[in-house]
Structure 1
């Protein structure tokens, strides 16, 4: 079951010729989510072929480089005769501002748009096999990060053991794998734990938005498969990072190491580093042993299961 991340915009507050403002597109088995929508996001979606079928938009905070793309995105959807509803999730206390953006041009889209607020610790969205949780971040405005956490998967079914116990090939295999005991013709009862292994963990993706390093990010997901963290500055601007409520690449990497992240994506690079991410990568790799990268706009990656199986 694919879990695909496309980095639509990776710049800091000021866009560059190579980087659009913040936006991340996530696709999971036919369901599409968007995290932040800086100006021009709809063009990035066209450019990188994501389509516009997303059902949920998650806003980390209301700075312009994260939300000014919302009016244009909604208008593009309207022009495409969208009928499906869109739900926008935003930090607690910011619903009115998002509603204003939705109706910025004096009229609302013709399709339903619902705005809901998410406070740290709350589940912003619950789907059949995963949820998106809001967690506290430390920026200079109301803000949250989001963690997409999949449910545990069923344990592996031991067909050989089931046959040894006399379970006939067929529907009873499925019942056992669903967690139901089955009774054989001779009256023997086979319990699921005799033929089904331990539950296997799903995948997790943590997106911080703009923030100083926080303990809440550590708690957002256990050993995340991918941590997307603010890395606006390198070490040459560590005081500037603190003053503006951002992080450096090294700080993001230190947190990723403590969190047990498998991969780290450094996001929201200041325009002062336009075209030069070497310092960010060098500093992050000094403290983080996992895979670390600075995504380019349009870069896409798939998050695999830890056991390499579907």
Structure 2
């Protein structure tokens, strides 16, 4: 199982980091930020293996790259088979709105976009993929992918006990750490988490590795401090990734 880390900044880009997007084994994309398609091409050379896109939520920093990706599949890859998009109930409205606003000729796109819309507070199981609603300004979901190894992805949420249960025994937990612990009150007010929050969840979940991301651009060059905070509460490996890092799980 291979994890390609495409974007690690939060809310907006920094000089060295794009906004969130992660690729699993070339066929599952989690969030699709601005610039995602180019980064996949740089890492893999093509996007023809893509089967599913999982959206945590529809805030701009997690979805603004979708039109470019869909156009690439249409114009270059000449895709014919369906593409599944999984996300909150409004994901179809947002993406179809983007396509309409950009005058995308829907009858020219030869592949079907299948939308799977998530509802409810309990864990949702979709084969190898599971989803869990978390707490943010708008409907937001964490995801877990179970293959020969397991990866859990959680972004844009206050810390929740149910995330630990959802991520239990994962090989890798990818968890947001938007700002340092000194800003915990502010982070929670705006439905985000700190490195300490992420580390405690990782410890309670008994995960092997913790990958932090969603770093606010104001922290550029100081991200290692977030890792040091997390290491006080999680004894496994803490990774502060750079964009384009690949991890063989």
Query: Aligned equivalents of 2:45 and 2:53: distance in 1?
Result: 14
User: How big is the shift at 1:94?
Assistant: 3.8
**Which residue, out of 14, 29, 33, partners 2:28?**
33
1:34-73 matched pairs, under 5 angstroms: 34-49=29-44, 51-52=46-47, 53-73=49-69
TM-score by length of 1: 0.74
Larger radius of gyration: 1
- Give the alignment partner of residue 292 of structure 1, picking from 238, 242, 247: 238
Instruction: Tell me the distance in 2 between the aligned counterparts of 1:210 and 1:132.
Output: 19
1:84 paired residue number: 81
Residue 201 (structure 2) aligned to one of 225, 240, 255:
255
1:129-148 superposed matches below 5 A? 131-148=128-145
Whole-angstrom CA distance in 2 between matches of 1:235 and 1:79: 46
Give unpaired runs (5+ residues) of structure 2. Answer: none
Q: Is the 8 A contact 1:8 1:44 kept in 2?
A: yes
User: Is the alpha carbon distance of 1:227 and 1:50 closer, same or farther for their aligned partners in structure 2, counting shifts above 3 Å?
Assistant: farther
Corresponding residue SS for 2:27: strand
Deviation readout 1:161-197 (Å, 9 max, x if unpaired): xxxxxxxxxxxxxxxxxxxxxxxxxxxxxxxxxxxxx
User: 102-111 or 6-15: which moved more?
Assistant: 102-111
Partners of 1:235 and 1:138 in 2: CA distance? 19
Aligned to 1:95: 92
Find the aligned partners of 1:83 and 1:104 in 2 and give their Cα distance: 23
Q: Does 1:118 align with 2:118?
A: yes
Report the alpha carbon displacement of residue 103 of structure 1 after superposing the two structures with TM.
Answer: 4.0
The normalised TM-score by structure 2 is 0.92
| 1:36-74 C-alpha deviation (Å, 9 max, x unpaired) | 001111111122226202010000000000001001111
* Aligned residues of 2:167 and 2:173 also touching (Cα < 8 A): no
* Aligned pairs for 1:14-33 within 5 A: 14-27=12-25, 32-33=27-28
The 1:110–1:104 alpha-carbon spacing in structure 2 relative to 1, beyond 3 Å, is: farther
Q: How many residues align?
A: 242
The answer on whether the counterparts of 1:71 and 1:104 sit within 8 Å (CA) in structure 2 is no
Offset, 1:4: 0.3
What is the alpha-carbon distance in structure 1 between the residues aligned to residue 229 and residue 40 of structure 2?
A: 31
